[in-house]
Amino acid sequence: MPNIIETKKLDGSDILEINFGPQHPSTHGVFRMIVQTEGEKIRGLRPIFGYLHRNHEQIAENLPYAAIMPYTDRLDYVNALANNFGYALTVEKLASLEVPERAEYLRVIMAELARIVNHITVIGFMLNDLGAFFTPLLYAFRERERILDLFEEVTGSRLMNNYFRFGGVKRDLTALHLATIHQIVAKFPAFLEEFETLLSKNEILCMRCQNVGVLSPETATNAGITGPVLRASGVNYDIRKVDGYSIYHRFDFKIPLGKKGDVYDRYYVRILEIRESLKILEQALAKIPQGEILNKKTVPFIKMPRNFKPPVGEAYGRVESPKGELGFYVVSDGTPQPWRYHVRAPSLINLTVLEEMCLGQKIADAIIILGSIDIVLGETDR
Task: Give the H or E element holding residue 192.
Answer: helix 175-199
Contacts of 40 (CB under 8 A, 6+ apart): 362, 363
pTM for the complete prediction? 0.92
Contacts of 63 (CB under 8 A, 6+ apart): 71, 337
What Rg do the C-alpha atoms of the chain give, in angstroms? 21
Structural domains of the chain, with CATH: 3-48 (no CATH), 56-380 (1.10.645.10)
Contacts of 77 (CB under 8 A, 6+ apart): 159, 160, 376, 378
C-alpha span between 381 and 373 (Å, rounded) = 16
C-alpha span between 207 and 70 (Å, rounded) = 42
pLDDT tens digit at each of 382 positions of the chain: 455 555 555 555 678 888 887 776 666 778 888 999 988 899 999 988 888 888 899 999 999 999 999 999 999 988 999 999 999 999 999 999 999 999 999 999 999 999 999 999 999 888 888 876 678 888 888 999 999 999 999 999 999 999 999 999 999 999 999 999 999 999 999 999 998 988 888 888 899 999 999 999 999 999 999 999 999 999 999 999 999 999 999 999 999 999 999 999 999 999 999 999 999 999 999 999 999 999 876 655 555 455 788 999 999 999 999 999 999 999 999 999 999 999 999 999 999 999 999 999 998 899 899 989 999 888 988 7
- Of the candidates 374, 69, 79, the one whose C-alpha atom is nearest the C-alpha of residue 225 is 374
C-alpha span between 47 and 138 (Å, rounded) = 29
C-alpha span between 129 and 141 (Å, rounded) = 16
Task: Give the H or E element holding residue 190.
Answer: helix 175-199
The reported pLDDT for the residue numbered 1 is 46
DSSP state of 16: E
